[in-house]
Structure 1
């Protein structure tokens, strides 16, 4: 059963505001793991079109998952930052998480 739009918005807002409440450290990699698990475990229909929407919006990336597309959207032309996992500085982490949550919000508004 999929969450209704109000619950999705609350979930995303609470994740961003209180990551430790969900056992996360606030890093991009942890958010990716959470959303992947949520997508599978909750049969989250609302995330299924996220990747395709990002591909259309960015104009490239048909061969990439949404996790990598978010990285490229946050760090265009910075291929040294495009690895999915690995150490990142605080500025890069902030850019990635801000881009992830902004894009999720945009997607949720377009496809409630």
Structure 2
């Protein structure tokens, strides 16, 4: 499957999740997306975690779905099992928005390079200025790559 095909499939899953999945919650959607990635030799989501780190501004030690939770609820639960139904629905929406933006960027001829360039800029800024985890006033900010 091509990246664009996955964008279409994820849009269909977003619209009618129970046609594709036994559960429509965040954890179920994450499992489905992970399965798609594994079915593509872990290449489908190459750069996704790094792209999310540049959006969140921290969390370089986290898995991608935890970064999505931080985008959804910066001060909320960091565990998918602790989400109330409203937060879970917001997390699902954020995940599908992020996947669509990311995959659109990946389809561009220089998309993956732009993702890793922004990520390297974030790493350089963090090394120079620190982040909240190291006692700095804030986490580093970089211009995260958007689809053109």
Task: Calculate the TM-score normalised by the size of structure 2.
Answer: 0.67
Residue deviations 1:68-96 (CA, integer Å, cap 9, x gap): 00001100122xx1113x25322111110
Which residue of 1 is the match for residue 89 of structure 2?
Answer: 94
Which residue of 1 is the match for residue 100 of structure 2?
Answer: 105
Which residue of 2 is the match for residue 82 of structure 1?
Answer: 78
What are the residue-to-residue correspondences of 1:28-67 with 2, within 5 Å? 28-67=26-65
Higher Rg of the two aligned structures: 2
Which residue of 2 is the match for residue 16 of structure 1?
Answer: 14
Contact persistence 1:24–1:31 (CA under 8 A): no
Task: Calculate the TM-score normalised by the size of structure 1.
Answer: 0.86
Residue deviations 1:3-23 (CA, integer Å, cap 9, x gap): 213311211111111211212
The two structures, once aligned, show a CA RMSD in angstroms of 1.5
Structure 2: runs of 5 or more not aligned: 108-148
User: Could you tell me how far 1:43 is from its partner in structure 2?
Assistant: 2.3
User: Could you tell me how far 1:47 is from its partner in structure 2?
Assistant: 0.9
